[in-house]
Amino acid sequence: MATCDDRSPLPVVVAVIMDDQGRCLITRRPQDVHQGGRWEFPGGKREPGESRDQALTRELAEELGITPLSHEPLICLTHDYPDLQVHLDVVRVTDFQGTPQGLEGQPLKWVPVQALDARNFPKANRPIIRALSLPDRYLITPDHWDPEQLRVHLECSLGDPAVSLVQLRAPQLDAGAYAALAEDALALCRRQGVRLMLNADPALARDLGADGVHLNHQRLCDWRGRPSGLASDFLVAASVHDEVSMTQARQAGCDFVVVSPVAPTRTHPGAAPLGWTRFASLADQAACPVYALGGMTPEDIPRARAHGGQGVAGIRGVWPACSSD
């Protein structure tokens, strides 16, 4: 299982401890410490020579009196506070022994993941909360589907519980046809509680009430901050291919990014794939959850997660099969 690289920022292990009702455990930091008074996920500094998992076990014993039995990587990130740089290696603990108690006198509570409000946490926690709210796959519409095929595929896929985040990408359509299709697609997605990202002008995504905008290379270059009037939960995502575009996505404050091409694809046979090592290095530089795109299928999700990713994005291999295929 991948862990974050050792580096000079303060290394911290953070545990998102889940119960079987989909709630996670949060505790309040004492007033007199760094980020005092804010809610946090349990955890703490890794001691010299300690592995991530050793630090996890020690911190959860010291702070809560529990033993983690199984966990998986969630996200790694570096954050610059004015007074300190931290590197958070965040894991999701899915099973543990014991009953959590605030052994250092800290208040604790169980909260449904959807109710987590990043404003009550240290700034570095925003991507952690975002990672908890995003699925392990991001479906992108193929550009060879005409609008009718697209509607049929959306209708047949939206009942699948694995489908909860979709990007409407249709560069073959002119602006009017795209906007008409987007309105229909939004109505379909809303009915099923699926979030729809428009690969379009951010103002169009806002005006149509989409769940977010997906910035292609040009729109990421042109991005000058969130347009006014956006809902606070409106998602901004971007396509990233290298270190330069990852830096742009960081500066744009993206909620998540898609890194491609990770593996060879049928659509771009000539493009040199990044491979998993380079994907992991780019994911480590991100300040948000990262999906792997290019030759991906749902079977690649564990590999993407082991390399610091949120999951996979797909144009072909990630859509459920439909009877019209």
CA distances from 71 to 52, 56, 99, 101 (A): 11, 10, 17, 20
User: Which is closer to ligand 8GT, CB of 95 or CB of 104?
Assistant: 104
Task: Judge contact between 246 and 78, C-beta under 8 A.
Answer: no
300 binds, among Mg ion, ligand 8GT, none (CB under 5 to 8 A by kind): none
Q: Which residue has the tokens 């896929």?
A: 157
- Report whether 148 belongs to an annotated binding site: no
Tell me the window of 34-42, 112-120, 229-237, 245-253 that interacts with ligand 8GT (CB under 6 A). 34-42
Task: Judge contact between 164 and 124, C-beta under 8 A.
Answer: no
- Report whether 299 belongs to an annotated binding site: no
User: Which is closer to ligand 8GT, CB of 34 or CB of 191?
Assistant: 34
Task: Judge contact between 24 and 18, C-beta under 8 A.
Answer: yes
Which candidate, 46, 245, 130, places its Cα nearest to that of 121?
130
Binding status of residue 33 toward ligand 8GT by CB under 6 A: yes
User: Which is closer to ligand 8GT, CB of 50 or CB of 155?
Assistant: 50
Which candidate, 89, 69, 104, 111, places its Cα nearest to that of 15?
89
Dihedral sign, Cα of residue 270, residue 276, residue 278, residue 283 = positive
Binding status of residue 78 toward ligand 8GT by CB under 6 A: no
- Report whether 29 belongs to an annotated binding site: yes
**What letter would DSSP give residue 53?**
H
Single residue of 44, 102, 142, 320 touching Mg ion by CB under 5 A: 44
Single residue of 4, 24, 43, 186 touching ligand 8GT by CB under 6 A: 43
Task: Judge contact between 43 and 12, C-beta under 8 A.
Answer: yes
> Dihedral of the CA atoms 87, 97, 19, 10 (nearest 10)?
-10
Binding status of residue 68 toward ligand 8GT by CB under 6 A: no
Q: DSSP of 303-318, one letter per residue?
A: HHHHTT-SEEEESSTT
Binding status of residue 298 toward Mg ion by CB under 5 A: no
Binding status of residue 134 toward ligand 8GT by CB under 6 A: no
75 binds, among Mg ion, ligand 8GT, none (CB under 5 to 8 A by kind): none
Task: Judge contact between 215 and 238, C-beta under 8 A.
Answer: yes
Binding status of residue 45 toward ligand 8GT by CB under 6 A: yes
Binding status of residue 3 toward ligand 8GT by CB under 6 A: no
Number of residues that bind ligand 8GT (CB under 6 A): 16
Binding status of residue 96 toward ligand 8GT by CB under 6 A: no
Interface pattern 158-197 for ligand 8GT (x via CB under 6 A): ----------------------------------------
User: Which is closer to ligand 8GT, CB of 119 or CB of 144?
Assistant: 119
Q: How far apart are CA 230 and CA 31, in angstroms?
A: 33
Dihedral sign, Cα of residue 265, residue 271, residue 138, residue 176 = negative
Single residue of 4, 12, 173, 259 touching ligand 8GT by CB under 6 A: 12
Binding status of residue 115 toward ligand 8GT by CB under 6 A: no
Tokens coding 148: 């009718």
Task: Judge contact between 28 and 106, C-beta under 8 A.
Answer: yes
Which residues inside 230-259 make contact with Mg ion, applying CB under 5 A?
Answer: none
Q: Which residue has the tokens 């193929």?
A: 142
**What letter would DSSP give residue 36?**
T
Number of residues that bind Mg ion (CB under 5 A): 1
Annotated binding site for 8-oxo-dGTP: 29, 34, 40-43, 125
Question: Which residues in this chain contact ligand 8GT in the complex, by CB under 6 A?
Answer: 12, 14, 33-35, 40-41, 43-45, 59, 84, 86, 122, 124-125
